[in-house]
Amino acid sequence: MKQKRLLVDWLVFIALTLAALFTLFPLLMALMNSFKTNGQLLTDVVGWPQSLNFDNYLRTWDKMHYLRSLGNNLYLAIISVTLIVLLSALAGWRLCRTKTKLSGFLFSLFVFSMLIPFSSIMIPLYRVVLVLKLKNSLFGLCLVYAGLGVSMAIFLYHGFVKGIPLELEEAAAIDGCTMRQTFFSIVMPMLSPITATIVITNALWIWNDFLLPLVVISKNDKYTLLLSTNTLFGQYSSDWTAILSALILAAVPVIIFYAIFQKRILEGIADGAVKG
């Protein structure tokens, strides 16, 4: 019995290792080819680079205005996620605690909006952006992200609030706390597990998103990392070594973020999945 369990463990380990290698293979190929010259890349795609050619990264750093694009990405991620968390936590809390037909209808409306594919609202959304004069505005793009991200967040917060005893809020009200004080002092700290999940998923979505910035932003100084990378593609030719090094540079902040907060990320996702 023990030998059979050991065999199963080894088979699972081998399967997971192969799956990890299969997942990491494109990233490893991009990293390896980013150090090659264009001639080496075109003649030997799967071979090791003859030398570590950092000129590609220096050239790409200047071409894509890396620091400016990185700043735009950070601005979008921080402001958008902050708006999603605050608005969704407040809405999910009140919709859960208010037992009326209107609150039930509004919650159902948010849940239903999650089923609508983005492709079906892209053109109307662009028209709204133009009417509200949000075109080429990073803050306007943050508002769009917040509008698209609150539905799922409200759904998660609504389910999590159900597990918070109502007696805590009633005791706070008896002690003289206002609704604002009750929310920020009692409710919000107890929502930290699901908040971690929402922050992580939305931050990664916004950081890696290409379509929405492409629709809303057309000025070079407002480009995100992926939009700046897209400028390296030409109509008749493309500098593939620069493109690969740009993709690596765009992925580095996410990898660093995950490496630093790996434990908190896994705990937040696990707690959110169980309690939410």
Q: Which tens digits make up the pLDDT trace of 97-137?
A: 888 888 889 888 888 888 888 888 888 888 988 998 889 99
93 in Cβ contact with 155 (< 8 Å) = no
- Kindly tell me the burial class for residue 186, based on how many C-beta atoms sit within 10 Å of its own C-beta (0-12, 13-18, 19 or more): middle
CA distance 60 to 249: 9
The mean pLDDT of 236-252, rounded to a whole number, is: 79
> What's the DSSP call for residue 51?
S
The C-alpha atoms of residue 19 and residue 36 are separated, in whole angstroms, by 27
What tens digit of pLDDT does each residue of 45-77 get? 777 777 777 888 888 888 888 889 999 999 999
Confidence band of 146 (pLDDT split at 50, 70, 90): very high
Q: Give residue limits of the domains in the chain.
A: 56-275
Instruction: Name 93's Cβ contacts closer than 8 Å, sequence gap at least 6.
Output: 157, 161, 183, 187
Right CATH for 56-275 from 3.40.50.970, 2.40.110.10, 1.10.3720.10, 3.40.50.300: 1.10.3720.10
Can you tell me which residue has the tokens 């999650």? 114
Question: Model confidence over 180-211: pLDDT tens digits?
Answer: 888 888 888 888 888 888 888 898 899 988 88
Q: Please say if the pLDDT value at position 143 is more than 90.
A: yes
